Structures are given as C-alpha cells and as structure tokens.
Amino acid sequence: MIKKASEINESTPWQEMTIGGEIYEGGTSALVNTGDWRTMIPVFHEETCKHCMFCVPFCPDSSIPVKEGKRLDFDFMHCKGCGICVKVCPFKAISLEKEGA
C-alpha cells in the first residue's frame, strides 16, 4: 500500500513511498543557464595563452569553446567559476576574480 506524504516517516520502507522525481536522460549544463550561480569569474588572458588546450578537458561545464584549434573566451552562461582551469593552465593565461569586481 502506497502511503501519502503525511503518513511517511523514518521507519517507512521505500516500497511504500510514492514515486519521486524520475530521471529520463543524463543531465547537462548545456540545457540550463548555470552561470548565475558563480561568485568567482575566470578571466582569459589571450596574449599569454599558447592554445595548449590543457584547460578544455578539465572544465566540468564545457565552458571553454574551441574554434579552428584555438580556445576562445569563456561561455559565461554555463561557467560556475570553479577555478579548475586556473589551476591546470601552465602559462597563467587564466586568472580568477570576484564576480562583479
């Protein structure tokens, strides 16, 4: 017997709970504007960049676009400002600043 939310407590077996959210496909930040969550923002220093592409595969949000073998500025609609790109760049072509500073 499925219970109502008001009847569920810590001892209720999972089989008696109502079905929750169902996930039909893998999630991706491409479907959602997650850039508004950021408190820190990466700054691309193009004059220092050697286009080694070390940063590209490390970005968890695929926010570093590449065109014709060169990386471009960040996709700020999806970048969360995690700073991983800053840590992996061997040429210091990326810095991290406080958003809105």
- pLDDT bucket at 8, cuts 50 / 70 / 90: confident
Mean pLDDT of 32-56: 92
In the DSSP assignment, the letter for residue 68 is T
The tens digit of pLDDT for each residue in 17-35 reads: 767 766 666 666 667 787 7
Q: Could you tell me if 85 and 42 are in contact, meaning their C-beta atoms sit under 8 angstroms apart? A: yes
| Cα gap 70→22, rounded to integer Å | 39
Structural domains in the chain, CATH included, are 27-98 (3.30.70.20)
pLDDT at 11: 84
